Structure 1
Amino acid sequence: MTVYHWIILFLAQSSRTIHGQRFTKNPANLTVTEGNKARLGCSIEGLSEPEIVWMKDGEKLYSNDQMYITLEHNHWETFHSVKSVQQHDAGKYWCEVEFRGSTISSEPAWIIVEGVPHFILEPQDVATLPGESFNLTCAAVGPPDPVEVLWWLGGVPRDSVTSSPSVFHVKGVNNSIKYYCEAKNARGISVSRTGTVHIKVLPAAPNSVRVAHMVENNVTLAWSPGFNGHSNLSACTIQMVKNSRRKVKCPDKRVKVPPFQRILSGLSCYSNYSVRVGCENEVGTSPFSGWLDFQTPEAVPSAAPRNLTFDITEQQLSLNWATLEDEELQGKLMAYKVQWNLGGEGQDALLFKDNVAHLSGGGRFFNTTFQVSACTVAGCGPWSQPVLVMPASAVSAQMQRGHMWVGLLLALLVATMVGLLLTVLVHRRGKETQFGSVFKSPVTESTVSFIAARSFNRACPDFPESNLDNLGINDDLKAKLRDVLIPERLLTLGHMLGKGEFGSVREAFLKMEDSTIHKVAVKVLKTDINSSCDIEQCLKEAAYMKDFHHPNVIPLIGVSLHRRPQRRLPVPMVILPFMKHGDLHTFLLMSRLGDQPFTVSLQMLVQFMLDIARGMEYLSHRSIIHRDLAARNCMLSENLTWIALESLADNVYTTQSDVWAFGVTMWEIMARGQTPYPGVENSEIYEYLIKGERLKQPPDCRDDIYEIMHSCWSPVPKCRPSFQHLINQLEGLWASLSPRSSGMKEALLYVNMESDVGEHGAEALGQCQDRFRSAMPWQCVGIEEDEKDWLMVSSGAALAIGGDYRYIIGPSCNSAEEDDAGRQGNFMDDLQQEFRDEEYEDTVINV
């Protein structure tokens, strides 16, 4: 529009009034081939400056280049153009003008787009059971019509062509298959998206099992579903075990999903639990997830201390009471709270750490009542029954009165019994005759037989059975072991299963309370026990094992004390479950060198490693150091699961040192029981390792497995992987070896490989990033500069000059005073472990 036109419009608007408005031209219907140009126009009369708006299917069309043409005064025309028509441009169009609150609309027109068919219903992914029939649907429209549909299934076209919409009936398939459809009209052919027919399978185990919320004895358990097997998950089963002195299995809980969480109520406070989850779809139930261990919070004690007694003198009042059971305490004891009342007035409460209280000036507490309660971090429990403190004379008088009443009751009872007896005698006396008494037996004399409960021999004195009270060990250790002490007479020792510097392991039979006999293994500790300190050190191991509750850590059955002639102190015996298949080292040797060699699959070997890592992760989580991890100390149960036979440390040792030993154990497994460091003398191993040399890759050992074990041998302990990281690596490795994984090869072609690395992968080794090949240096990010000197610059490089020597010490034992200071971890601990491995080899070979 020119400047002249604007001037004319301005003069006209200022000089005349507008009357009557109407559309003089309406848009016309158009049929356009896809890709061509389309143009619609409309004209309105009666407005000086109209704002004409184009509408499509009820929505306003916005355009930056809309043009107005003046036909005459107050008569305007405008157009809507589409340069390249596509299917989405098809629809209903019209013009609108607003004037003084009213809307004037033109007649509508239609743009019809002709082209190849476009799909209004495309194939989607479906899932079905093997051999089960199902329907597939596909729909496409023109114009131009008609539209015909041809189905492709598994890359093969079906014979018949049907009109759109088309439903294809499939009688059933047994494997995953791809499908799509072709739509054809006079303009050409369109191809739909490709859909997949999945076969429904069992779901995968849930993952990320976690405690989302915890309040007192209520725990909210949450988990993430695994692969659903192409079928919606309907329910999940929660299995839970309470880890007390003995594992107690709780009833299974079956919950509908989603949501994937459940509140577990009614749990015991301050108790250890293990839980796992398995889910189900219409095919069946998934494997269970790994066990999740958690502990419920502490609570106020549920019971009051019992047996509150006192002992009073003029100088001191002593109070004593019984300790609570763990189930009653419901937490860690913080203190006992003692309150007392004198003359009706309450006094300030006192706190005591032990179950005894000593108060000076006993005379001032006469006629005072005392009560006691146990306290945890959650608060104090109920009060005990009040006890009144009285002088000894008053107590004696009260006791005498009590004795008097007891004497009277006893006298009355005796008199009653004598009366009854006399009555019976008189009654029987009346039945006597001249031929004798009725008391005479009419039959021959009875024979009495008995079995001696125990025999004695003066030549061989009988030793009293040992107990914990006469060993001279501390009270805490006695309390921990008292409920697992088994009398020696219930054990029958059999032949020896193995022997080492710690003592020997013997087969044995244990008689239970119900008279059943169980086969067990008895660890008879070394006999050079000369003091209470020696026996206390031996029994500490059993005290630790008492609280072990893990499928890959051997549980403790009990402790027994073997009494020896002419010796004051007995020999401790630790009673453990009998492992049918013996130790892992012998098992591996027999697979190669036995009379009937057998093949152990790579998947089973990785399973051994995974079981060991899970057991070690459990121990490290409880701040327990194994010290002697090796294949010979890995026992195989009925189902070939590995279980750790524990030996606690006496000298400086760390969890990182256990990781080093785990790498050596992996090497033993892959080498099928071969001796580590072949060709290297014991005295040379130290120099061999300090130069950067490591165990060579065993024959037939995959590179990724060797990389894992090699990462355990970093010279800097903090750069070694954690057991949890090793578990993650081995679980992935085990899954890749599973027979089911081969059936997923086709599905892997469609996995999106552009996603970010997961958070577990990003963690890796925290700040430590090891290089796994022996020809490469270890690298550790974020360590101190003086620690870097210990990283090897090449396989055979000498020590860096000026390095930090705290990672290496001489092969000597540390004293007890150095124990706490030496917990920082050192490289020589690993070397000492290797020496211990070598020292035991002769015994293992002779098994």
Structure 2
Amino acid sequence: MRLLLWSLVVCLRAPAGICGGGVVFTKHPTNQTVSQGKEVRLGCAVEGVSEPDITWMKDGEKLYSTDQVFLTLGEQHWETSHSVKSVQQQDAGQYWCEVEFHGLTFSSRPAWITVEGVPHFIQEPQDVATFPNTPFNLSCAAVGPPEPVEVQWWLGGVREEESRLSPSALHIPGVNSSMKFYCEAKNARGISVSRTGTAYIKVLPEAPVDLQVIWMTDSNVTLSWKPGFSGHSELSTCNVQVVKSKGHRGDLQQEVQVPPHLHVLSFLRSHSNYSARVSCVNEVGASPFSPWLHFSTPESVPSAPPRNLSFDLLERHLSLRWAELQEEELQGKLQAYKLQWILGGELQEPLLFKQNHAQLSGAGRFFNASFQVSACTSVGCGPWSTPVLVLPASVQVQAQRSHIWVGLLLGLLVAVVVGLLLTTVARRREKETHFGSAFKDPGPESSVFFTAARSFNRNASDTQESTLDSLCINSELKNKLQDVLIPENLLTLGHMLGKGEFGSVREAVLKSQDSTIQKVAVKVLKTDITSSGDIEQCLKEAAYMKDFHHPNVIQLIGVSLHRRPGQRLPIPMVVLPFMKHGDLHTFLLLSRLGDQPFDLPQQTLVQFMLDISKGMEYLSSKNIIHRDLAARNCMLHENMVVCVADFGLSKKIYSGDYYRQGSVSKLPVKWIALESLADNVYTTQSDVWAFGVTMWEIMTRGQTPYPGVENSEIYEFLIKGERLKKPSDCRDDIYEIMHSCWSPVPKCRPSFQQLVSQLEALHLNLSPRPPPKEPLLYVNLEGEESGADAGGGAWTPDAEVEAESCSWRVPWQQVEETDWLMPVSGTTLAIGGDYRYIIGPQGAPGDDETAGDVQDEEDTVINL
């Protein structure tokens, strides 16, 4: 009967014309019961299909067998089998075979394979976590065949006397310490052993680990941590304890649901030190606290304006003073006080001061001016103070008396002359608007073009003009500089642009004999250097530049001497052209990493290389070895022409074609040629090597050469044949030129004349690109130990070019504050002015090298 029903199902699933003369299963698989490890074979035969594809199925899944055999029983009659040589419990299940024909699937009757053997577990004992002496249950279940299956429990290595039929549940009244347990399942074929479980006693969790800050703002901090050992109990909460400053405990404690194991601390104070630790809680209790994590919140803008802004209007000066902000109000490290003033209804250029007082020369020009002051951190400036109107003292007293009289008069006539009162109030409001209420929220402000921080007194009768005869230098050097000596009274020094080991660079105004003025850069030797040898070395650099006449080499304007009271020797000052875009290295860095990056096409980069090669070709023709050629020592003029500069290490070759360094000095390790590192020998070919490194700097937009290689490892790195890698966007022909500069054999390197020819041809092949629509943004970078030219038009003298000076700061990196200047471009832009215009209380930089030598001179402010 079952066969008849199965055939009917097959016929119903088959297309018309197949049943009766179509696909018919002549053999079906049969039920089999076998012992574990024995072989089993199932058979299936089908008729009515030419070369059929017979597939075996198990529990609805297709079987992929490599030993399936097909036998021909007759025309369109086939038989196949499926065998398992060593049957296991997982082989037990329902089997059948299928045939596809004309898009339909035909199936045989199913058959069961039953595997007899030792019991297999369908539920094994699981680990248990419990409190001491608390009851709990254990479960274990196993099946055959053959049946029945008995379960025997083992607790703590001791077998329970009574065996139970599977499944089995065992009640444990409680334990005082951890215990191991498992169960045995037995039938007629043998015994199976379950996994071993453990009964744990719940304990306190361990302290959390890896507490760290993963996100921070000026007032919010996100903490994350990893839980310690849970104590065999799920953690429910964690307690976050936060302490502000030292000496306090338990200032703030917050309960946090876990997971996730993180928490946001809100409403923290900016620029403050905090400590945090975490303890987690399970059913038993709280864990010990993690170690303290110390962190500092970043700076923010000040929360309050400076108070008590007052002034003292003297005959020749205007003195301003205001109260310093409290630490909690400042919310950061003070960078400057920003002073803005309004005169005649127009907002004037703002001034920046380091201290909470200032003295401005030319008192008369500040009459009827309104002043406001704001404190600034590296993030920005805070709110403005209440405006203060500058009036002479007599006018103030008169105004006060007038106010009292007007008050009395209004008090007497208030009931009678209401209209006059309203008119008086309207006039008073108009006056207040004119003097005090015209302030608006400061918007974007342009930088001050020039602020003279200190000038030399031109009218002092006791100042004797210094001459070269007052210096202890050789006569040859003195005669060479005599015709370029500039009188001191023609030079007005402005703010500092940068400083180095032996001096500083100041922006200045040079007045010529025909009264025309020229913006220049002045290198000033430090006042504490009194050695005639140091002074002579400074003037030798000037003597070198006097003979230079080339558009790609910095030229000397002149030399001036400042007489110092009480000192035998005057201070030498070297006057040089003002370079608007500063040094090339800083310019390249800002194009890539500045607050407003800009594109430098390859044609422009090659033009930079060409300018440098032309300048070096000129110097080599003059028998000058530069010895410090690098992007930091190349200056960028307003018309984007590069000039080779900074000849502090330069030497002239008087015999032969090389110079041997005879004494230990600080040298730019990553720019020095292989033979110079080995033997201290410097030639024009070693300058060619440095030019190749400078080309690499230009193509990488100011990256530090040999990233990842320490200065002490450079020689070993080069001697193995290693060289700087090709920059990612560098053309092959450009890299070939720079790589040729690094030949280990100096004579195999190209000359500067050959480099000029190669770069000129390369420049012609590059398609011209239109200039940028907007001017390029330039903000100077400068630091105490930086060997780079510190901006604005000149370079720092006697640059630190040791290993540390080869790693340059970038605009977003926070650097340690110098005595006065703020070199971080992000800080400068946040304040809204140029750091070069930060002036001291007397109108001069706080680290002015000549501050102590011209105490009685008046400040001068010149706006160009």
Normalised TM-score (structure 1):
0.45
Q: If the length of structure 2 is used for normalisation, what is the TM-score?
A: 0.45
